Amino acid sequence: MSRVSVWQQGPTEPALPSPESGNRIRQLRILIIHHDMQAVDRCLRELSRIRFTVSWKVVTTPEQCTDRLRSDHYDVVISKYPLAMWKANQVLDLVQQLKKAIPLIFLLHDWKRETAAELIMGGAFDCVAMNSIGHLPVSVLRGLEEKALRDERDRAQDELRRSEARYRALAGNLSYGILHCNACGGFIDVNQALLAILGLETKDQLMAVNLMSDIIQDGAKVAQLLGQTDELDPLEVEWRRWDGKTVKVRLSGQRVAGGTDTYEVIVEDITRQRALEDHLRQLAASDPLTGLANYRHLIEVLDMEIKRSKRTGRQFAVLLLDVDELKRINDHYGHVTGNQALCRVADALVMCCRDIDSAARFGGDEFAVVLPEIGKEAANSVALRLCASIENDGKGPILSVSVGVAVYPEEGDKVESLLNAADSAMYAIKRGKRQYNP
C-alpha cells in the first residue's frame, strides 16, 4: 500500500530546514509497519503539520519490511509495537542488520515507561503513545535533525582522521608509511617508513607490487580506498613482509590534489594494536584460574549453537559438572590444593574435548561443556569418559564429579531451560551417587 500527499505547514509548527536549500519543501519518505489502516491515517493526519511532501508505504510482514528497506530509501521508519506475528524486537533487528541509519519510531498502544526505555536502549529513536499521537510530528522532526547532525559529524570526523594521518606520516612518524599509486593500483613512489614497516631496504623492491592485485585483491575495495566511491572508511588488510611475516595495516587514501589519476595512501601498522585487542578479548572471555571460557562466553556459545541448530536441524548437548566434596578438600588440604583440583578438572576437559567443543568454568566448583552435533547417547559416553579421566589422572587427592546431560532441543529450547535441565540432571546424580552412570 502506498500514497503520496502534500500538506502545508500550520503557522506555528516547526519546520526542518533542508540541508541543500534552506527551508524549501522537500520529500519525506516514510515506511510504516502497521496492520490497522485507521491508525495509519491518524498518523498521517498528524504528519500533515510538517511542511514536506510526504511519500509513504505500509508493510505488514517482516519479508515486506526487509524488501522495502533493501530496495528503497526511507528517511523515517514508524512501527506499531508490539506487532502480531513478529518477534519482540524484530523491527529493530531488521534495521540494524541491514545497517540502515534510519530513525525508528515505535507507536505504543499500551504505554509503559519500561517498554519505551528498553526499546530506546535497544536502538529505537523514540516511542510515541497512540493516545498522544500529536507528539509524532515533533518526534519525526527531531529524528531527522539528529540524523543530519550525526551524518555531518561523521563526515567531519572521517576527514579529520584522514588529515591527521596524512600530517603524521608526512611529518616523519615512522609508524606511518606513504605510497603513491595510479588508479590501477600500480606503485609510483613510497616513503622510507613504508619500507621499514615491510622490512625492505630500497624502493626498487616495492615498485613491482600492485595495490589491487597483490595486496587488496578486490577492485571495489580499492575504489573505496582511493576515494572513487562515496565510502571513505579506511581498510584493514594483511600485508606480507619481505621476511615472510604478516603485518596488519590500516589503509586510508585520497586523490592527490592537482595530480592526474595519482592517489596517496597512508599505511599504518596496527599489528600490535590488534594483537593487544585479541588478548584483551581472550582475557574477558576466560576464567583466570583455569584458563577455560567463563560464564559469559559460555552463554554466547550456547546462543550461537542454538541458532546453528535451528538452521541445520542437528542436535547438540550440554554437560554440567560439579566437583564432589570440594569443600572437604579445601578444609582438609587447603585452598591451594582446592584450586589445583579445579585446574585438574579443567585439564581433563581440555584433553577429552574435540576441537569443536567448548569447555567453560560455570562458576565455583561447576563446569560446563558444549558438544555440537551430538545426541544423548554420545553425550552420555563423553560424560563417562570425563568422569574416568578426572578420577584416574594419577594425582592426589582423588577427584570425582557429578555430570548432568541435556540435549537441545528435546530437553530445552532456550539457553536458560537447557542449563536448568542439565543442572537438574546433575543434582539428581549427585543425590543418588557420586559417579555418573546413565
Model confidence pLDDT, tens digit, residues 33-46 = 999 999 999 898 88
Stronger pLDDT, 438 or 36, i.e. the higher one: 36
Mean pLDDT of 283-293: 83
Q: Where are the domains of the chain?
A: 2-150, 172-273, 285-432
Stronger pLDDT, 332 or 175, i.e. the higher one: 332
Do 2-150 and 172-273 show the same overall fold?
no
pLDDT of residue 366 exceeding 80, the answer is: yes
pLDDT of residue 292 exceeding 80, the answer is: yes
Q: Does 3.40.50.2300 match the CATH number of domain 2-150?
A: yes
pLDDT of residue 399 exceeding 50, the answer is: yes
The percent of residues in the chain predicted with pLDDT above 70, rounded, is: 87
Q: What pLDDT score does 316 carry? A: 97
pLDDT tier at 314, thresholds 50, 70, 90? very high
CATH no., domain 172-273: 3.30.450.20
pLDDT of residue 405 exceeding 90, the answer is: yes
pLDDT of residue 78 exceeding 90, the answer is: yes
Q: What pLDDT score does 168 carry? A: 59
Q: What pLDDT score does 14 carry? A: 42
Model confidence over 225-273: pLDDT tens digits? 777 655 557 888 888 888 888 889 888 888 876 656 788 888 888 888 8
For the ranges 89-93, 145-149, 226-230, the lowest mean pLDDT is seen at 226-230
Stronger pLDDT, 333 or 116, i.e. the higher one: 333
pLDDT tier at 280, thresholds 50, 70, 90? confident
Q: What pLDDT score does 110 carry? A: 82
pLDDT tier at 212, thresholds 50, 70, 90? confident
Return the top range by mean pLDDT from 184-193, 230-239, 348-357: 348-357
Q: What pLDDT score does 309 carry? A: 95
**CATH fold group of domain 285-432:** Alpha-Beta Plaits (3.30.70)
Mean pLDDT of 22-28: 57
Stronger pLDDT, 368 or 23, i.e. the higher one: 368
Q: What pLDDT score does 165 carry? A: 64
pLDDT tier at 331, thresholds 50, 70, 90? very high
For residue 284, how many other CB atoms are within 10 A of its CB? 10
Stronger pLDDT, 7 or 184, i.e. the higher one: 184
